[in-house]
């Protein structure tokens, strides 16, 4: 199993995970054209996508979902809450409503959704498995919970939100105070230190890759995210991957 991020940040998010002939997209926050271009950078054709999953309805995660799913006939998996917050889907769309607590399978990949606290209707994050390796994804959550940590512990790879540095956020003169409170609130986004603390509570003995994701371009810096996560893992900062808005990441193998 392998994975890559097509891009990560407030302007658009998408992740691809692949096992055998199964290719899944998690979120589609880019236009149809941009998503195709970013898949091509990884050597993928859009027709290879076996299914598309959404974490929640915010536009930086859902912008291109309907068009991609409909154009390439990829089933779209979303929670009921996410569905009601989006525009009505076209009739030809293969829409599949999931329960945020129920595991399901898409061909060769087991998908384990789980709920998170975020300012969306029914947000979900995911753990992907091929039966041997596990990829855990956590972005767009205001804080951690025991259930989140039980889902992510023991993973072989993690994509973990490091949205902002608290000092940078709170001293940013362009952000009004209510927005700052929303971002750092219980239904907002994880800051570097909260992600560090979360990571330190997990069993990371099998961890082969970690990616700091959803970094704010105005309220964080890659070196701050790397420093925080490397301290939690007691590893070199160079071992921490950072997903960028423009480039995402290259392929990362779990085997």
**Structural domain boundaries, residue 142:** 2-253
Q: In 3-state terms, what secondary structure has residue 161?
A: strand
Q: Supply the pTM of this predicted model.
A: 0.98
What residue ranges in 80-151 does DSSP mark as E strands? 95-98, 104-106, 109-115, 124-129, 134-138
Return the pLDDT at 255: 82
For residue 55, the domain's CATH number is 3.60.15.10
Return the pLDDT at 48: 98
Can you say whether the dihedral through the CA atoms of 9, 219, 165, 147 is positive or negative? negative
DSSP-H helix ranges across the chain: 32-41, 59-62, 65-72, 80-85, 146-152, 166-170, 177-184, 192-200, 222-233
Q: Tell me the C-alpha distance between 165 and 117, whole Å.
A: 19
What is the total count of domains within the chain? Answer: 1
HSE, CB side, 13 Å, CA atoms: give it for residue 114.
Answer: 19
Q: Are 129 and 151 in contact (CB under 8 A)?
A: no
Per-position pLDDT tens, the chain of length 255:
999 999 999 999 999 999 999 999 999 999 999 999 999 999 999 999 999 999 999 999 999 999 999 999 999 999 999 999 999 999 999 999 999 999 999 999 999 999 999 999 999 999 999 999 999 999 999 999 999 999 999 999 999 999 999 999 999 999 999 999 999 999 999 999 999 999 999 999 999 999 999 999 999 999 999 999 999 999 999 999 999 999 999 999 998
């Amino acid at each position: 199993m392998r994975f890559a991020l097509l891009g990560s940040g407030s302007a658009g998010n998408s992740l691809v995970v692949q096992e055998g002939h199964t290719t899944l997209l998690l979120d589609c926050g880019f236009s149809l054209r941009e998503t195709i271009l970013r898949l091509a950078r990884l050597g993928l054709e859009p027709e290879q996508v076996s299914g598309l999953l959404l974490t929640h309805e915010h536009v930086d995660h859902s912008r291109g979902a309907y068009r991609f799913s409909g154009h390439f006939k990829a089933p779209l998996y979303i929670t009921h809450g996410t569905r009601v917050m989006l525009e009505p889907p076209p009739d030809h769309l293969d829409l599949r409503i999931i329960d945020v607590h129920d595991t399901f399978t898409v061909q060769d990949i087991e998908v384990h959704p789980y709920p998170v606290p975020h300012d969306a209707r029914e947000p979900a994050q995911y753990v992907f498995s091929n039966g041997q390796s596990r990829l855990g994804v956590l972005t767009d959550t205001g804080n951690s919970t025991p259930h989140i940590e039980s889902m992510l512990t023991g993973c072989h790879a993690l994509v973990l939100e490091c949205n902002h540095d608290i000092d940078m956020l709170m001293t940013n003169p362009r952000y009004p105070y209510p927005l700052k409170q929303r971002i750092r609130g219980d239904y907002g986004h994880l800051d570097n230190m909260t992600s560090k603390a979360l990571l330190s509570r997990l069993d990371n003995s099998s961890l082969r890759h970690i990616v700091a994701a959803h970094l704010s371009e105005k309220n964080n810096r890659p070196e701050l995210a790397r420093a925080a996560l490397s301290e939690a893992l007691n590893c070199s900062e160079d071992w921490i991957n950072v997903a960028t808005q423009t480039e995402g990441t290259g392929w990362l193998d779990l085997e």
